[in-house]
Structures are given as structure tokens and as C-alpha cells.
Amino acid sequence: MTLHGGRVPAFTAVTLATSLVLSACSTPEPETEEEPVGDYVSFFWVEREVMVHTLDRMFTEGDPDQVVENIGDKRDRLFDTAIVREDEDGYAVELDNDEWNTEAVHNSGQIDGALADAMYNNEVTWCGEPVNGEEFVDAYMDEHWETLDTPEAYEASVVDYVDCGDGQP
């Protein structure tokens, strides 16, 4: 069925043209930065690294069963993504994020939320006076975010910090 003798109605043509112009000018959706690309390192990647290494040390220094119990309702996300796994020795943290099953969650924010719950609900007890894990991670980010240039430098810094160092690579 052809309307208007095969011509496109003026209203439809104007609407189509306006839509094309507006879509060409719109800002694309920002991409989330899961992994460092080249020398670019995202805030969220660094924070995630600190939380994962801190959680690993919590298992080593404390009672892993209690640490897992304290994580709360979001603990299943850490198991589903294989960040935390149960093995014959108890619980372990997978530090190699290439081994994580990130398809088990909708986005990295869900991983970050579960790790944040783990930090909020557990303490760092091995670096002097006990401190909430969230405060420990925040202290690192406050001191070291944007002070290093590469993923490798941040990785070395995080490992040093979690081992009670000053975080200087």
C-alpha cells in the first residue's frame, strides 16, 4: 500500500531527518574500563585490585569461614564469578582476573559491590591496630590514586600496601 502517490509524507521526512541529525550528535554510551589498556588504568580497576588482594590476605590472616560469612548476601557473586572458591584447604581468592567468570554477573559493578561488602564487613588485623577493610582500601586510594603510571606499578604498589608497606613500588 503506497500513500501519497509513492512520496514520503513531509512530516515523516522531517522527523526522520531530525532523528538522524540528533543521533549523529549524541554522545555514545561510555565504555566501562574492565582491564588496563596500555598505560591507562581506571580508578575502579585499581580499587578492585586493592579489594581482591585485601580479601586474599583476610583469608590468610583470619578465619576464612568467618570472613565469607561476614560478606553477606552478595557473597554468591564472588563464588559465581570464581573470585572466591572453596577448595580442600578452605577458601581461596583468585588473584588472576583473567580466570574470573565475569559473565556470571551483569557488569563489573556487581563484582565491586560484593567486594565492597566483603571489605565493609571484615577487618584488616595484620597491619597493627585493626581497621575496617573499607577504610583500609579507601586509605590506599586516597594516598596512591593517580600517583602511578602503569598497571604493573599499581600491582606492585597494592601488593606492598597489603603486606603493610607504604605502597611505594
CA distance 149 to 156: 12
pTM of the model as a whole: 0.78
Q: Kind and range of the H or E element at 22?
A: helix 10-25
Q: Which letter does DSSP use for residue 94 in this model?
A: -
Query: How confident is the model over 131-151, as pLDDT tens digits?
Result: 999 999 999 999 999 999 999
pLDDT tens track for 51-107: 999 999 999 999 999 999 999 899 999 999 999 999 888 999 999 999 999 999 999
Residue among 16, 34, 55 at smallest CA distance from 102: 34
Q: Does residue 30 carry a pLDDT above 80? A: no
Is the pLDDT reported for residue 125 higher than 70? yes
User: Residue 57 CB: number of other CB atoms within 10 A?
Assistant: 21
Q: What are phi and psi of 131, to 5 degrees?
A: -140, 145
